[in-house]
Amino acid sequence: MKINCCKSGILILILLGILQGIQAQKTDFYQSPGKLYRKAIELYQEGNYGAAGQMFDLYINRLPEKQNLKAENAAYYAAESAVKLHENDALVRLSRFLSHYPESVWTPAVKFSMGITYFNNRRYSQALKVFNDISEEKLNAQQRSEYAYKKGYCLLKRNKTDEAMALFGKVMGTKSPYAVPAAYYYGYTQYELKNYEGALKAFSLIKDDPRFRHTIPIYLMHIYYQQTAYNEVIALGKKYLPAAKYRLKAEMNRLIANSFYELNDFAGALPYFAAYEKTERSNIKPDEAYRLGYTYFKNRKYAEAIYNFQGAANADETVAQNAWYYLGQCYLKTAQPVAAQNAFVSAYKMNKTNETGAQSLLAYARVSIRQKGDRNRDAITLVQNFVNNSGASQTWRSEAAALLAQLYVNTHNNMAALSSIEKSGVKQKSLQVAYQKLAFTQATDFYNRRNYSRALTYFKKATKYSSDPKIRLKSRYWEGNSYYHLRQYSRAAQAYKVFLTSRGATAVSLYTPAYYDLAYSYFKLKNYSQAILWFKRFLNRHYNNPSMTTDAQLRIADSYTLMENYGQAHPWYQKVIAAGGRNADYALYEEAFCYGAQTQFSKKIKVLQQLIRQYPRSFYYT
């Protein structure tokens, strides 16, 4: 019973509040324009911008003449109220004011507010355009510092670093609330320009500021590292690492580890490289992967070394060659002789005359001798060529000659075997069967080594005979893939079509993926209508691969977008967004682009807000 009484009392209070609000609105409406204007000014000065804005609008609507000074003032304050409340129509109000009152004394302030609003909405190009139209001398001191900082930031976004630094320089070191961030971006820009002394000067102004105490140390570590002051990097890193934010710890670990590495202290580098790898494994660059691999190798952690040397195989020639060589050594340490052979050969082929190349070839020959078997003929060819190479060191050539004699024992070689079969005329059925299998095996080997041109040659050889229809069909499919990797997309598309229309292709597991690959070939050829057609055909086959399905939907959407058929693109982007996954943020971004292209800006903003909300760490958010 008590509860019901309480509820009744609350209801009465609410009703009374509503009635009072209605009465207040009626009172406002019936006030004279002069009283409305004065009351609106009072509310604005008190910071009650919501009520002030409504009252200014009411005042303007009741004026028969909109061009008098009070109407102008009211329009200005109404627009500023919308700005301060971050209302959606703030920019519209500001633009309307400039249109209605082009000669107003409020024009500099309105343009300033417009620029700041664009800036706060991350629309830096529009903000810069407005800032460029503002006469700085017409702003007050507080506005000037904000203007200089935010215009400088916009310029920085446009890569106009000299102009940006000039503006940041006006603000840093002052008492302005923007002095600290201005100093930060000034220092950051100097750092990017490799003017490390200038960066240190700016960072020193804000090193104790609580907003940047987690950020400045990492820049100082980078600067000391560039100056080869490795002990300073280690000391600074050890000091700040325990309290560093999670997103900065990986970089601090990387810099400390590399400093130890440069000092040849691999035991010291190991724990920091391990910590760095734990959080950044998927983002490690090839050169960095080599350093991790070598550090693990020196600490006899071969499995970890193998993983990182594999990641270093795509580095520049010198680093990649060393990575392949040590990868071979790691494979030997872990009883993987065949993998070691492949690694040593890869290292040798990158440079056949330098010391690493020679050591790689000799290591390959030694492993081949122990292994015996078919692969020795490859070794014979390579070692024989090396022995005959006058550009190689005589010392290494002499040792290679000693090993060559041991390689001529019980050896087989696919290419040599194929050559022999070709010379025989390939007339016998048994030879055709062997030829097809050897050609496909050799083609696959070249393909796996990314030598797609040579792979094509042998895939074509494997299609000469129909001894094994499945090998023939697979060879046609992989022909398409090889052309695709060689960026010969027209030929790739032709090969996929031949495969898809071949008898028995539907029974091959590669049949449905071929639709997908054919669609991608057309996509690369910018034949978007055909790409859409084949991606849709792929989807209609309901292939059990969610990643490929989502990617096909995304490419259909992209194709429509590239054809400027934005309406058709939306439902496909929405499928990708609904599925979630790693491309959902990209789909949101592109859908927003489509809405923008259709001048549906409210929808564009809504989608971008969804992107920011759901994927705050997305690349497209920044």
**What tens digit of pLDDT does each residue of 178-213 get?**
999 999 999 999 998 999 988 988 988 887 788 888
For residues 248 and 224, give the distance between their C-alpha atoms in angstroms, rounded to a whole number. 17
| Rounded Cα distance, 221 and 46, in Å | 48
The radius of gyration of the chain from alpha carbons, rounded to an integer in Å, stands at 35
A 10 A CB-CB count for 420 gives: 12
* Rounded-to-integer distance, Cα 230 and Cα 268, Å: 13
Does residue 395 sit in helix, strand or coil? helix
Q: Are 82 and 53 in contact (CB under 8 A)?
A: yes
Backbone torsions φ then ψ of 230, nearest 5 degrees: -65, -35
Calpha distance 214→559 (Å, rounded): 44
- Domain over 545-622 is classified CATH 1.10.10.10: no
Predicted confidence at residue 272, as pLDDT, reads 96
Give the Cα separation of 180 and 168 in Å (integer): 10
User: Which pLDDT value is given to residue 407?
Assistant: 58
Alpha carbon distance 413, 379 (integer Å): 9
Give the CA dihedral 74, 75, 77, 83, nearest 10 degrees: 160
Q: Where are the domains of the chain?
A: 28-105, 545-622
Burial 494-512 (b: 16+ CB within 10 A, else e): bbbbbbbebeebeebebbb
Give yes or no for a contact between 387 and 401, defined as CB atoms under 8 angstroms apart. Answer: yes
Q: Are 168 and 189 in contact (CB under 8 A)?
A: yes
3-state secondary structure of 263: coil
Q: How does pLDDT run across 597-611, given as a tens digit for each residue?
A: 999 999 999 999 998
Q: One-letter amino acid identity for 162?
A: D
Helix segments in 31-140, DSSP class H: 33-45, 49-61, 69-84, 90-100, 107-120, 124-131
Q: What is the pLDDT of residue 7?
A: 43
Q: What is the dihedral of CA 591, 597, 599, 602, to 10 degrees?
A: 20
Please return the burial class of 588, using the count of CB atoms within 10 Å of its CB with bins 0-12, 13-18 and 19+. buried
> Is residue 611 classed exposed, middle or buried when 0-12, 13-18 and 19+ CB atoms within 10 A define those classes?
buried
Residue 282: what pLDDT? 83
How many whole angstroms separate alpha carbon 480 and alpha carbon 474?
A: 10
pLDDT for 374 equals: 52
Sign of CA dihedral 273, 277, 279, 282: positive
Rounded CA gap, 53 and 116, in Å? 19
Picking from 259, 307, 311, the residue whose alpha carbon sits closest to that of residue 284 is 311
Residue keyed to tokens 């003017």? 195
Strand partners, 373: 411
CB distance 433 to 468 below 8 Å: yes
SS3 615: coil
Q: Which residue has the tokens 């078919």?
A: 374
On whether the CB atoms of residues 36 and 25 are closer than 8 A, the answer is: no
Residues 6+ positions from 120 with CB-CB distance below 8 Å: 86
Give dist(CA 502, CA 496) in Å, integer.
10
Q: Quick one: pLDDT at residue 399?
A: 79
Instruction: Give the Cβ contact number of residue 4 at 10 Å.
Output: 8
Amino acid present at 362: L
3-state DSSP percent of the chain in helix, strand and coil, to 5: 75, 0, 25
Residue 425 backbone dihedrals phi, psi, to 5 degrees: 95, -10
Q: What is d(CA 262, CA 269) in angstroms, rounded to the nearest whole number?
A: 9
Three-state DSSP class for 64? coil
Whether 285 and 314 have beta carbons less than 8 Å apart is answered as no
Strand, helix or coil for residue 190: helix
Q: Are 523 and 555 in contact (CB under 8 A)?
A: yes
Helix and strand totals (H; E) in the chain: 33, 0
Distances (CA, A) of 360 to 49, 234, 320, 379, 397: 76, 35, 13, 12, 13
DSSP letter (8 states) at residue 411: B
Residue closest to 497 by CA, chosen among 518, 526, 520, 528: 518
Residue 450 region by backbone torsions, left for phi larger than 0, else alpha for psi between -120 and 50, else beta? left
pTM of the model: 0.48
Enclosing H/E stretch for 489: helix 489-500
Report, as ranges of residue numbers, the positions in the chain whose pLDDT lies below 50.
1-30, 405, 408-411, 424, 428
CB atoms within 10 A of CB 175: 6
Architecture of domain 28-105: Alpha Horseshoe (1.25)
* Alpha carbons 290 and 277: distance in angstroms, whole number: 12
